[in-house]
Amino acid sequence: MTIQKTVLRALSGEALPVPPIWMMRQAGRYLPEYKATRAQAGDFLSLCYNPELAAEVTLQPIRRYGFDAAILFADILLLPQALGADLWFVTGEGPRLSTITTADQLAALKPAADVNDHLSPIYETIKILSKSLPVGTTLIGFAGSPWTVATYMIAGQGTPDQGPAHALKDENRLVFDGLIDIITDATIVYLSAQIEAGAEVIKLFDSWAGSLHGDDFAQYSIAPMRKITSALKSAYPDVPIIAFPRGAGEKYGNLHTAIGADCIALDDGVSADWAAKNVQTGGCVQGNLASRHMVTGGDALVAETRKIVDAFSGGPHIFNLGHGITPDADPENVQLMIDTVRGI
């Protein structure tokens, strides 16, 4: 059955007449059925750690839209929690964590090898999904890339410019490098367990890669992703990997080789025409419709969707947004996008 899955075919390098499609954050707050399940769970973390309910919200957009892939419902900050960081969510404001900025705080983290006990509910969710998804739907597991995860662990929350992480990197490289290393090693453990549970594809989200410049981009975005990819490929050579160094701009050009990924996901800061000439030549690409079209809809959504499909039609392509869908999106616009991609 797996050979018929369009996402896996695209990831293997096949150019398909109609690109497979899924959407970042496709299970989320724009859907009324998600809101109902979230209310049933009580809070966000309880939803993440409840395998039955997490599987349910993962399946909801598959039932509604028939996406070609389902992505595990979880959060990139579950891994810091598994390492021993305190994690909580403030309503309307987002995640908060205890901070890691000193050698003593770094030393107090759990060993990377010990994260699986805490994360076992996530693996149970994957096992449920493996049995529940339609036969043609690919199951994607994921994790945050070490740089992005580190920015939250250092600041204790999201920041507009990742300033606290940059400051620690510049002022105490020993602690910063140690944190990157432990996140990298723990991510390999985490993703390996996801694959063992049934994930067919892995995606690495480096949402804040664009704030790294010069040698820092290579050292702290690309190198950790390359280490993770190399370890996973060594153990699971048939499992494709999608890398998303958001905000990479012109540096997207050589990243298939630099990271060792089967697919590079693109944000909407680069044009599809440019990416077809400079990124898709290295392998499969994913993207890259601007998320705002899921709010505004209309002729602009249709035109931009067709433009992206046409630009990438000469090579392997998975249609997606340039970032996650936002809570104010109209579900009807998602259907319009899908119908446009599929030529309905």
**342 catalytic residue (yes or no):** no
Tokens (6 digits) for 314: 């000469």
Residue 17 CB contacts under 8 Å (≥ 6 apart), including other chains: none
- Please tell me which residue in 9, 30, 34, 38 is annotated as part of the active site: 38
Chain centroid offset of residue 59 CA: 17
Place of tokens 């900025």: 101
CA distance 136 to 139: 10
CA distance 317 to 311: 10
**38 catalytic residue (yes or no):** yes
Chain centroid offset of residue 155 CA: 21
Tokens (6 digits) for 196: 């063992």
Helix (H, G, I), strand (E, B) or coil at 208: coil
- Please tell me which residue in 30, 49, 65, 152 is annotated as part of the active site: 152
**65 catalytic residue (yes or no):** no
Q: Helices 116-132 and 173-197 meet at what angle, rounded to 10?
A: 40
**152 catalytic residue (yes or no):** yes
Residue 225 CB contacts under 8 Å (≥ 6 apart), including other chains: 145, 146, 204, 206, 243, 245, 259, 261
**273 catalytic residue (yes or no):** no
- Please tell me which residue in 68, 75, 185, 268 is annotated as part of the active site: 75
CA distance 192 to 243: 16
CA distance 243 to 258: 11
Catalytic residue annotation: 25, 29, 38, 75, 152
